[in-house]
Amino acid sequence: MQKFIGAILTLVVILVSCNQTKEPVEEVAKVEAIEKPPVLHYGFNLDEFNVVHDTVRNGDSFGELMLRNKVDYPKIAAISENYRDTFDVRKIKVGKPYIILKSKDTSDVAKVFIYQNDKINYTVVDLRDSAVAYKSRKKVRLVEREIGGIIDHSLSLSIDTLGVDYNLTFALSDIYAWTIDFLRLEKGDKFKVVFDERYINDSIYAGLGAVKAAYFEHKGKTIYAFPYIADSTNQILEYFDQDANNLRSTFLRAPVKLQYRLSSRYNLKRKIAYYGYKVRPHKGTDFAAPIGTPIVATADGTVEESTRRGGNGKYVKIKHNGTYSTQYLHMKAQNVKKGDFVRQGDVIGWIGMTGNTGGPHVCYRFWKNGRQVDPFKEELPAAKPIADSLRTDYMAHIEPLKWQLDCIELVDPNPEPEETLITYNQ
């Protein structure tokens, strides 16, 4: 037994000795220097320049900015004269950001001027060789988003509560402009929307994208809206409902969008105290809104008149076809002239107080067969539905979108508090 234990101890000593006398092998990792590619912004490697970020200030002009940064006058003149369609130097706006890329040597001369038109689009003025200007845009990623809500006070407030871009209110008002009066929404009306949001560098919000599908439940009536190009010749995108009916009507319901109130309706028996309560017919519909609010054409047509006359003040009259004409009174200024062809929704002027008026508004007059009528009592023709040859394709197109809308949960603005179970110790 003692011999066996001795043999074991000898074996352990030998193993320990082997581990101690064995030279450790040092593994040397080969590290290769990897040169990182330059990071480009606006198409330039900013590390190659001295970079100046600034904004256009009062009194700034393109020429003065360039002269201050040592650009030769001939290059300034070349941009001003030869690239007016690309970059009109007279129209740079106070508050707009810009970037100047300057040489890194002692001359400190501006080599590139980058003007931010908006969050996405920018204009580059390259002054390094012969002066050139071109437009470009940042890479934008579209992120799809879904929301659903119940109207408590107004659509805009409901959308704001959901933390969504306010412009979605305007987008929905445009889509449903002919079928829903957004000033008469009722508490409990429901809406759902699938839409895109634009992002720059995956983090900077750059505005609302397209509305891909929408749903409104107004006074118990359900109206879906899906975008579809039914006119392949002109590639016009329009919105249609679940039954392939066009949501657009021949005429808009109002010549202004959202920010208005009906201050006076069409009334042939109107009596006014100022005139001794005599009957003074009002053959127009007054839409009150702040001065400067855009006035839009309610339908396609040709401008018959754009002038100023008596109590009408500055006004525009549009002939739409052999049956219908419209007139827009008391404008601050017109945006069209006689003979212009305008499309439905085009801005034709701005609300003002010219002529006989007690406050800022547009008096909207509507003619049918040469006689002024109440547009709210007219059965106005709807736009053409989808052609029968496209119905099968359209129904297949909207099927997944409708399913997506139906699955969106509604956010109740006034959820009922959950019941709390109270237990008592016995």
pLDDT by 10-residue block (mean), the chain, 426 residues: 52 48 52 66 90 93 92 91 91 93 90 93 92 92 94 86 89 84 83 94 88 92 93 80 86 78 62 53 81 91 92 92 89 94 90 87 89 80 80 95 95 66 54
Residues contacting residue 80 through CB under 8 Å, at least 6 positions apart: 62, 63, 89
Domains of the chain: 40-137 (3.10.450.350), 140-240 (3.10.450.350), 261-377 (2.70.70.10)
Check residue 400 and give its pLDDT: 96
Q: According to the model, what pLDDT value does residue 391 have? A: 92
pTM above 0.75, yes or no: no
Which tokens sit at 301?
Answer: 């047509």
Helix (DSSP H) and strand (DSSP E) numbers for the chain = 6, 24
Cα separation of the two ends of the chain: 72
SS3 220: coil
Q: Which tokens go with 233? A: 């010749």
If you search the block for the tokens 């704001």, which residue do you land on?
160
Give the whole-angstrom CA distance, residue 259 versus residue 268: 26
By the 8 A CB rule, do 318 and 346 touch? Answer: no
Instruction: Give the distance, in angstroms, between the CA of residue 38 and the centroid of all CA atoms in the same chain.
Output: 34
d(C-alpha 225, C-alpha 238), whole Å: 9
